[in-house]
Structure 1
Amino acid sequence: MGSCIICGKSVDGSICDIHEEDALFEFRGSRPDQLTVGRYYRGSVDGFAEFGVFVNIGDSVTGLLHRSELDRRLDSLDWDSGDVVYVQVKNVRDNGNIDLGWSIRQSEREFRGILVDDPDIGHAIELEAEDENEDADEADTQADASTDDAAQDDSTEAEEDQEAEDDSTTDRSAGEVSQAGDADRVDGAGGSVGATEETETTTSTGGGAAVVEQQDAESESAAEPVTAAIGDLESLVGDDVRLEGEVVDIRQTSGPTVFELQDTTGTVDCAAFVEAGVRAYPDVVEADMVTLDGEVRRRRGEIQVETADLTVLEAEERDAVEQRLADALDEEARPEAVEPLAEDGVIEQLSDELVEAATLVRRAVLTDRPVIVRHANTADGYLAGSALERATLPLVTEEHRRADAQYHYFDRRPLEGGVYDMDDATKDVTNMLDNRERHDEKLPLFVFVAAGGTRESLDGFDLLDVYGAPSLVVDDIAVDDEVIDAVDAVVSPSESGAATTTATTLAANVAAHVNETVRDDLRHLPAVSFWEEAPDAYVELAAEAGYDADAVTQLREAVALEAFYQSYEDKRELITDLVFGDDEDDIGGLAGHIAEQFREKVDQEVATARANLDYQTVGDARIAVLDTDAFSHQYEFPPETLLLDELHRDIRDEGDALVGISTDTLYVRTDADVDLHDLSDMVADEAPEGGVATRSVREGSVRYLAGERGAVLDATLKVLSDRL
């Protein structure tokens, strides 16, 4: 019996059933039926086909990673034949064919242990333990050889000593005869013989002391390790070094304890061994600042430090190192001054906020912290999220240099209504805690674009704050003070600038600060995000990028359509093809095709809705009312929010406002300066039984109790007319 390398449970081998998917296996069998379904294996790329990738598992079996198992297009893989990859065995067919699955983990360090799957053994053993046994056997062999050599040396030395002793005896005998014969001469020399012996003895002793002192000095010099940066360890293999940094992860294997140490130049695994499976330096915890001495070695192709001593820094020493690391990281993460994409007074006023936001994103990438972008499921939300995605992905790939890094360390997820409620927050927290537990992943940086700017998202932010997950809000509305206090950073215009910008305009300028090299890719996005009256500076910028007015309109409508159908997924590739099509000659191709569907569906719905508007005059105001339950197709495109936006633009000259009402939600559209929170509060006072509350400022929606529909509608028309 052994114990699980992850949870310590008693098992036959080194891993329990629950944690098998957290470990990486090295296959030592020779037949497909010896593989274990569900396990992750190290393999190598054998070849490519239109339908997938062939991967060798071990030396004798080959499986197929079908393209349907990939989370990206097959042609986007940067694998070459012979590359080491990591895959999961999904199925072993009766004919010996092996179905493989994609592993988001494409580095040994991301697994929580490496095991040998050897059918001859009958259960999995830890690769490190096997290596240690091999090292021990080699050491024993070397020790035996050393013992034989020593025995032979001792025999030779004994023979030499015996010969020397015989020679010495002969010499002494001859000396005694000489001394007896010359006794008078010797004594007459004033004791010269005795003086000579004393001189030789003194000289011998003095020389020995000098040698000892020199050896001690050399030993002391050799024992002092070289202070080094982690980024320089590649050139120091075999040397003793002293490192200084933060412990960012601790893993206990069945052999050594592995401390992951980070300084301003990188991270490295440091193995400390006291006894198999026993925790070394048990008082050391994550986030400790330490100095660590050890020898730099290369283990299975990766740099590792064999720890000789580890000391936790306290008080002033800790503060000094912590501040030095933080300053160096901030300096590296902080972008250099970047010009706005176009001349824009709102953006110029937010220059400091743009730099702070970009620094947060860049720092997350540098510290292996995933970046999660949550955006509204609208055209503006998708365009804004795509801008940040375009800027961040190259940095992630450059920092991690692994095939799946851009999928592992960056994600983009839409939010309904632009509100981050408890439902969304609970899903995010559950996911991030699972990733931390299973993969030792840091809590992500959450970036909210075209979302999260109002108090309706406070419950979600509070839940993130409980766990200390950092957050950033980029929103084109004037963000509520409560939200500003709840998150780490905000990019938001003042009340006066809110009506003249979009979330995409803000996010694209943040993205240009995150990664200036993608600046040209972002030029057309602000113009696309304006449904009407785009500023001339952004129209000209889009034209420079090859997007005339028709192309801008087509792209906006195409993204809006896909935003509806991708409400719960990001589907990175399709949006990327739409927004960042590489072929300028084909601008409008894909977008034009989808935009035709948009216009056909919207025009039909607007025509139906327009024919069924109920115009009501309340006071001096003329307000159009649409029953969206009765006169729109539920759960089909366009959604109520987009339909009402289009309808309001279409009838703007025929009334002062448009109100859409469904079973339990009411929507307000007007060009007048109406604060939805104030409106909602006043309607609640007029209809106290209606359960009225703001649902989403971005959607212009208010929720209420379905049974009070009539009373709530009357109260809304009365309050709204007074504000027009």
Structure 2
Amino acid sequence: MTSDSVGDAADDDGGDTVVYDLAPDCTVDDVEEDTPYLATVNGIVEYGVFVDLSDSVSGLVHESKLSGTFAVGDELVVELENVREDGDMSFETVDVGEYTIQQVAHEYRPTATTALDASLGEQVHVEGVVTQIKQTGGPTIFQVRDEHGVVPAAAFESAGVRAYPDVEVDDVVRVTGIAETREDATQLEVGDLTRLDGDAADRVQSRLDDALETWAEPHEVEPLVEWDAFEKLRDDLRDVARLLRKTVIEGRPIRVRHHADGDGMCASVPVQKAIEQFIGEVHEDPEAPRHLFKRLPSKAPFYEMEDATRDLNYALEDRAKHGQKLPLVLMLDNGSTEEDVPAYQTLAHYDIPIVAVDHHHPDPEAVEPLLAEHVNPYTYGEDYRITTGMMCVELARMIYPDMTDELRHVPAVAGLADRSKAEVMDDYLTLAAEEGYEEDDLRDISEALDYVAHWLRYDSGRHLINDVLNVGCDDRERHEELVDFLADRARGEVDAQLDAAMSHLEHEDLENGAHLYRIDVENYAHRFTYPAPGKTTGEIHDRKVKETGDPVITIGYGPDFAVLRSDGVRLDIPRMVTELDEEIVGGGVSGGGHLVVGSIKFVKGRREEVIDALVEKMAEADIDEDISSMSALSDD
């Protein structure tokens, strides 16, 4: 029993007697002997009266203990006389004269969500914050988070009717109910759900906040390889890991958008598995990983308005239908450029947090005011040699380190997929070799990923991608056979595409000494098949680099777009795009990417003017045969 004074009826100053008034939720455990309580008559029988002290504390005052007559609803002061073996309670009236009332609150002893399995079939109390409210055709399901996890609490009013309609997401509550198992998961069968306020809510919230800060802290993991350039990014990645862990604990969904190429999948798949494993640790609901995490590819290397509006619409529907919070959006291998700004501004109207981990050339002034976290090697004077896949393997390990062993080969796949010339590529290849992957095996995985991503289009292809990358795959032999098949198919279709296209390749020598190759991929390459225009341009470019051994620029163009690849020429494609947009009024020029790899869009009627102006700028670029390049990104 919680009160200022319990036991002696008289106060210390000899004044009025204190009589205790039990709160409605008080139980027999809150009743003490030799203590006066305020009671209300609820029934009259020949041998006495029945009284209530609270909703669950009641008993008999025998006629022999009564003086005077009473009616239902009358108040009287009683003390506990006896509690029988069957739990029945008897009281006796006491004459206290003048008295003052002191409220008594029930003293709850909360049970941790992690201890519910040990209390199955018993009544327990859980104090926490509501993270989701979902109305089913039967009960209302409240997801409640305490310091240790999130548990579903099922409250039934009537079929399909919202129970406890005054309780909302983020309210601090106390749930009293029976711990039970349903579909191999622990949940609470709600007997009572009380919204806390004032000091009671503050105490619970403070407890949760302290636990959250500790729980969200990322794991300390040693990097897979020693790399000074990468160390500059480690603190930023820790900040992202902390935010993602906190997001999971708070019950907010995470929606990942990633570039639909090899590096994008090497980035997103490890992060997906790490977050889903952590969700499984935090949430009792076995369906929580499916509901709280979604991964979708983006064809463009930026967040298109089409993708953003779809994501926003789905998020609003999930909030309306399932009571979910609006998600955190995680951008991987895209999200750093000015082209992302309109999509980000759209989400900003709903205060949706956005995080970008990317290695495309960034526009920090444009995007960082709209981002909760931004990790990009360019902000530290590094470049795209540090691929997003390399960063995200370390990010995944900070979130859930137990999966390290199945990720050791992934950074090498990411590096080969994006043609990284990083000085540690040999270290990553060695790491992969220790897991049984030779360099040719890794190149096959990269090729297979690109091939599958092309045909999946806007589908995540979760299980197929996992099998190709061999993350979360339980059959190494099937993985190897699948990769061999897909890589052979991909190379065969690339060869067929180039057989048709190479004879239509245009060549000229630029004034700076670079070779320029152009190909009309709209008219001289197969459409709507593999490889797509970006991949086709990249494959042509690779062949010409190998054939000439000289600086090479390749342009693959269509009616209103061009994809660009360069080796040995110091280009700055984002800057060139900005200049072209200013110089060609009405050209509708946009685009970007990496410094030497990118894409441009323009209006169809100004194509010739845009490409000619682009070539002039390329001819003025400096030659640098030592420059690192990426020659086969799969930008479409």
Pick the TM interval, shorter chain: 0.7 to 0.9
- In 2, Cα distance between the equivalents of 1:474 and 1:323? 32
What is the correspondence of 1:192-591 to structure 2 with a 5 Å cutoff? 224-231=106-113, 232=115, 244-249=127-132, 261-265=144-148, 266-267=150-151, 269=153, 282=166, 285-289=168-172, 292=174, 295-298=176-179, 302-307=187-192, 310-313=195-198, 321-400=204-283, 404-481=287-364, 482-494=366-378, 496-531=381-416, 532=419, 533=421, 535-580=425-470, 581-584=473-476, 588-591=480-483
Residue 289 (structure 1) shift? 4.0
Residue 715 (structure 1) shift? 0.7
Q: Can you list the C-alpha shifts for 1:620-676, whole angstroms capped at 9, x where unaligned?
A: 344222111222111111011112122222212355311222100022211333222
Q: TM-score if structure 2 supplies the norm length?
A: 0.72
Partners of 1:420 and 1:452 within 8 A in 2: yes
- In 1, Cα distance between the equivalents of 2:388 and 2:177? 49
Which of 658, 661, 668 does residue 564 from structure 2 map onto? 668
Deviates more, 1:457-466 or 1:253-262: 253-262
Structure 1: state its 5+ residue gaps. Answer: 1-145, 155-159, 163-204
Partners of 1:388 and 1:511 within 8 A in 2: yes
Structure 2: state its 5+ residue gaps. Answer: 1-41, 50-61, 65-78, 83-90, 623-636
Match of 2:522 in 1: 629
Residue 223 (structure 1) shift? 5.7
User: Structure 1 pair 561/270, CA: closer, same or farther in 2 (3 Å)?
Assistant: closer
Match of 2:615 in 1: 717
User: Structure 1 pair 222/553, CA: closer, same or farther in 2 (3 Å)?
Assistant: same
Residue 546 (structure 1) shift? 0.9
Match of 1:680 in 2: 577
Partners of 2:408 and 2:432 within 8 A in 1: yes
- In 2, Cα distance between the equivalents of 1:669 and 1:349? 28
- In 2, Cα distance between the equivalents of 1:518 and 1:251? 32
1:658 pairs with 2:550: no
User: Structure 1 pair 229/463, CA: closer, same or farther in 2 (3 Å)?
Assistant: farther
Residue 511 (structure 1) shift? 0.8
Which of 486, 492, 517 does residue 594 from structure 1 map onto? 486
**Amino acid of the residue matched to residue 539 of structure 2?**
E
Helix, strand or coil: the match of 2:519?
strand
Match of 2:537 in 1: 644
User: Structure 1 pair 584/713, CA: closer, same or farther in 2 (3 Å)?
Assistant: same
Residue 443 (structure 1) shift? 1.8
Q: Can you list the C-alpha shifts for 1:195-224, whole angstroms capped at 9, x where unaligned?
A: xxxxxxxxxx9x99x987899xxx999963
Match of 1:604 in 2: 496
Residue 271 (structure 1) shift? 5.8
Which of 569, 591, 594 does residue 694 from structure 1 map onto? 591
Partners of 1:383 and 1:529 within 8 A in 2: yes
Residue 399 (structure 1) shift? 3.6
Helix, strand or coil: the match of 2:297?
strand
User: Structure 1 pair 624/257, CA: closer, same or farther in 2 (3 Å)?
Assistant: closer
- In 2, Cα distance between the equivalents of 1:330 and 1:523? 29
- In 2, Cα distance between the equivalents of 1:648 and 1:629? 17
User: Structure 1 pair 229/528, CA: closer, same or farther in 2 (3 Å)?
Assistant: same
Deviates more, 1:324-333 or 1:449-458: 324-333
- In 1, Cα distance between the equivalents of 2:402 and 2:496? 43
- In 1, Cα distance between the equivalents of 2:496 and 2:325? 48
Match of 1:90 in 2: none
Q: Can you list the C-alpha shifts for 1:425-464, whole angstroms capped at 9, x where unaligned?
A: 0000111111111111222222111111211111112222
Q: Can you list the C-alpha shifts for 1:460-490, whole angstroms capped at 9, x where unaligned?
A: 1222222222222111234321222211112
Helix, strand or coil: the match of 1:651?
helix
User: Structure 1 pair 414/326, CA: closer, same or farther in 2 (3 Å)?
Assistant: same
User: Structure 1 pair 697/267, CA: closer, same or farther in 2 (3 Å)?
Assistant: same
Residue 524 (structure 1) shift? 0.5
Helix, strand or coil: the match of 2:524?
coil
Deviates more, 1:547-556 or 1:323-332: 323-332
- In 2, Cα distance between the equivalents of 1:357 and 1:371? 13
Residue 682 (structure 1) shift? 2.2
Q: Can you list the C-alpha shifts for 1:274-319, whole angstroms capped at 9, x where unaligned?
A: xx9798684x6433445x4x743357964245338644237xx866
Partners of 2:120 and 2:179 within 8 A in 1: yes
Q: Whose radius of gyration is greater, 1 or 2?
A: 1
Query: Larger helix proportion, structure 1 or 2?
Result: 1
Residue 338 (structure 1) shift? 0.8
Residue 557 (structure 1) shift? 0.7
Helix, strand or coil: the match of 1:588?
helix
User: Structure 1 pair 300/697, CA: closer, same or farther in 2 (3 Å)?
Assistant: same
- In 2, Cα distance between the equivalents of 1:253 and 1:599? 50
User: Structure 1 pair 631/323, CA: closer, same or farther in 2 (3 Å)?
Assistant: farther
Helix, strand or coil: the match of 1:365?
helix
**Amino acid of the residue matched to residue 353 of structure 1?**
D
- In 2, Cα distance between the equivalents of 1:457 and 1:329? 31
Q: Which has the higher contact order (CA 8 A, sep 6+)?
A: 2
- In 1, Cα distance between the equivalents of 2:135 and 2:606? 61
- In 1, Cα distance between the equivalents of 2:332 and 2:301? 8
Residue 367 (structure 1) shift? 2.8
Question: RMSD across aligned C-alpha pairs, in angstroms?
Answer: 4.0
Helix, strand or coil: the match of 1:297?
strand
Helix, strand or coil: the match of 2:427?
helix
Match of 1:703 in 2: 601
User: Structure 1 pair 630/689, CA: closer, same or farther in 2 (3 Å)?
Assistant: same
Residue 370 (structure 1) shift? 2.4
User: Structure 1 pair 524/264, CA: closer, same or farther in 2 (3 Å)?
Assistant: same
Aligned identity (percent) is: 27
Helix, strand or coil: the match of 2:309?
helix
1:613 pairs with 2:494: no
Partners of 2:171 and 2:195 within 8 A in 1: no
Q: Can you list the C-alpha shifts for 1:478-518, whole angstroms capped at 9, x where unaligned?
A: 43212222111122213642232211111111111111111
**Amino acid of the residue matched to residue 376 of structure 2?**
S
- In 2, Cα distance between the equivalents of 1:711 and 1:545? 52
User: Structure 1 pair 151/161, CA: closer, same or farther in 2 (3 Å)?
Assistant: closer
Partners of 1:238 and 1:296 within 8 A in 2: no
- In 2, Cα distance between the equivalents of 1:251 and 1:410? 17
- In 2, Cα distance between the equivalents of 1:447 and 1:603? 36
